Chains A and B, each alone.
Chain A
């Protein structure tokens, strides 16, 4: 019996698998982002554009704690003004963080937020935040940076404590 001939179609199919998988690795980047937004993986927080009306249950209280950290080599002192507040889900609150540039040079930085637990991240919405844009710190200047947020009432009842943390990264410009 004759041996089989290998067709061109076979090669095309075979070689296209590794090529497709190479691009799939890059496709994972947007897939991952969308997944984080939908599910709140990694404590990704949401954003609202305007103040909305929520059904408010004044009886229900959630403690929100604020944390701050900076990457090694970031020369700005950074921390929350108050360590925690009690909030009613559905109401908007404003808190602020304080930052002081300890150097004689202008420093640029970007704050990256994260909310824990993950199930709360989905319902933690920010109206206004210093993390939305890059921050510029003038030499030896102390600034207060505002944050306005709401916890949506849809958040599960069992969650009584939510923590929000910011990590400041240095930017070159």
Chain B
């Protein structure tokens, strides 16, 4: 650690290693970022395939394709794979690629740990997925794995699930430690904290959420493990434990977790909107403070997921008001984005389309979140499709939209090639329309009382489910086109300029495209940093 400057001095002698072992042994942040992103994309397709199974079963009322137990395995694994396998690794991949370039650092602070954080993931994913082939099947208790469903009444494969969660948590914590160390210590000496681009800021804050929340999840699954195998009774009422306490511990992790999945997307959007509106970001400092406030508040609102567990009125009131309070900093961000594009000279390239639809659709998800935060309303909405619609609006059209926007925005920098703009636009509109066909009707289903995690439903829900399923298949198919666009860009794309987006700001655009294997061996100067800063 004390030899960073010495390492930087001899770095330019070698490029990437030849052959496949390059990817196994690499400590280069760009290689590892690429690995993370491809891993996340393959998990996205897999989790998407599970979702196709769910939607196929829900196409018509009655049981057609699978027994309810397998349906429950699909909903559980869809949630787990998407959260821990797709969204989180994709953001870590973006962080790996972008943060060192954005802060003018030669690499991440802990390159070997970085390699390890990634290579834990495929094994954790394989362990988790192998449960499908075990006796009793995969975990079927929902991604929230409430006790005692996950302790007393769960299949034996649950112990593999627990181990997989431990590994995934370990990977995330190591990744977060690496990012904090990189941002705080490796950024260009001339770069002050309030010079940092917003993607770096949001990821720094996310990292603190990760090291605060993921260990609590590790604690929760450890308690499950000892309850299941070693005779403890943390969640077992007969032994003096309490199953409701599981929910408290789980959501103490779970609520920060949802902000872990959205804050980096906020950062991405704050880069794209100024570029294509040709105006500096409105309210840079307030964006930073709003992100920090959201992160702080996320730790003290967890019980709004549990209004139906029999909480005292005072507790319900507190958690309701604290939840409403999150709308304030989130509103600051949304209004800042709108003010950024206000009277801007906008053009609508693919990344901008994704970013604009993020602002609209994420805000819809935020509003349905406010509705769910109201205690008397939540009693009606709890565990219905309204909740499903809500969190898919914030996680698909929020987190995933941010990731896709980032991919289109920085793809020229990563590959040195330009993607096909026409195909990009077709893909956007295809996904944008179909995603609303999937999830918007689910609001109505939920309000009408359709429960979630059920493979069959009453006849009055048939029409909306049919529409939702058709939209689901179309949305699933759109990712085939997405894969084609990316591969086509890498293989046949026209060479991209070092700054392919006119008026894009940021140190990463001062590097050639594709970004050289080693960058910023000499840190950028104060003048360069100010020239490339998002705000003036």
Chain A residues within 8 Å of B, Cβ to Cβ = 1-6, 10-11, 14-15, 17-26, 28-29, 32, 36, 39-43, 110, 112, 116, 118-119, 167, 169-171
Q: Given the known A-B contacts A21-B216, A40-B312, are A32 and B4 also in contact in the complex, defined by CB atoms under 8 Å?
A: no
- Say yes or no: is B234 at the interface (Cβ < 8 Å to chain A): yes
* Nearest A-chain residue to B212, judged by Cβ: A21
Question: Can you list, as one digit per residue, whether each of B449-478 has a CB less than 8 Å from chain A (1) or not (0)?
Answer: 000000000000000000000000000000
Q: Which of the residues B1, B244, B249, B315 comes within 8 Å of A5, measured between beta carbons?
A: B1
Question: Can you list, as one digit per residue, whether each of B503-527 has a CB less than 8 Å from chain A (1) or not (0)?
Answer: 0000000000000000000010000
| Chain B residues, CB < 8 A from A21 | 211-216, 219
Report the Cα distance A42→B429, complex, angstroms.
Answer: 49
Q: How far is the CB of A123 from chain B (nearest CB, A)?
A: 13
CB pair A41 B315 closer than 8 Å: yes
Where chain B touches its partner, the secondary structure class is helix
Report the Cα distance A13→B218, complex, angstroms.
Answer: 20
Q: Which of the residues A1, A14, A22, A36 comes within 8 Å of B181, measured between beta carbons?
A: A14
CB pair B244 A42 closer than 8 Å: yes
CB pair A28 B212 closer than 8 Å: no
Q: How far is the CB of A33 from chain B (nearest CB, A)?
A: 8
Q: Given the known A-B contacts A18-B215, A118-B312, are A28 and B248 also in contact in the complex, defined by CB atoms under 8 Å?
A: yes
| Chain A residues, CB < 8 A from B5 | 2-3
- Say yes or no: is B375 at the interface (Cβ < 8 Å to chain A): no
CB pair B234 A118 closer than 8 Å: no
Range of interface residues on B (Cβ < 8 Å): 35 or more
CB pair B109 A118 closer than 8 Å: no
| Chain B residues, CB < 8 A from A36 | 242
- Say yes or no: is B145 at the interface (Cβ < 8 Å to chain A): no
| Chain A residues, CB < 8 A from B219 | 21-26, 28
Question: For chain B residues 17-56, which have a beta carbon within 8 Å of chain A?
Answer: none
Report the Cα distance A167→B244, complex, angstroms.
Answer: 15
- Say yes or no: is B292 at the interface (Cβ < 8 Å to chain A): no
CB pair B189 A22 closer than 8 Å: no
Q: How far is the CB of B180 from chain A (nearest CB, A)?
A: 6
| Chain B residues, CB < 8 A from A5 | 1-2, 4, 185
CB pair A2 B189 closer than 8 Å: yes
Report the Cα distance A41→B2, complex, angstroms.
Answer: 52
Closest 6 CB pairs of A and B: A25-B219, A21-B215, A22-B215, A169-B238, A1-B189, A118-B312
Report the Cα distance A60→B181, complex, angstroms.
Answer: 65
- Say yes or no: is B156 at the interface (Cβ < 8 Å to chain A): no
Q: How far is the CB of A15 from chain B (nearest CB, A)?
A: 7
CB pair A29 B212 closer than 8 Å: no
In addition to A10-B184, A21-B211, A169-B238, 15 A-B residue pairs with Cβ atoms within 8 Å of each other are A3-B5, A4-B185, A4-B186, A6-B181, A18-B211, A19-B215, A21-B215, A22-B215, A22-B218, A22-B219, A28-B245, A28-B248, A42-B242, A112-B238, A118-B312
| Chain A residues, CB < 8 A from B244 | 42
Report the Cα distance A26→B181, complex, angstroms.
Answer: 27
CB pair A3 B8 closer than 8 Å: yes
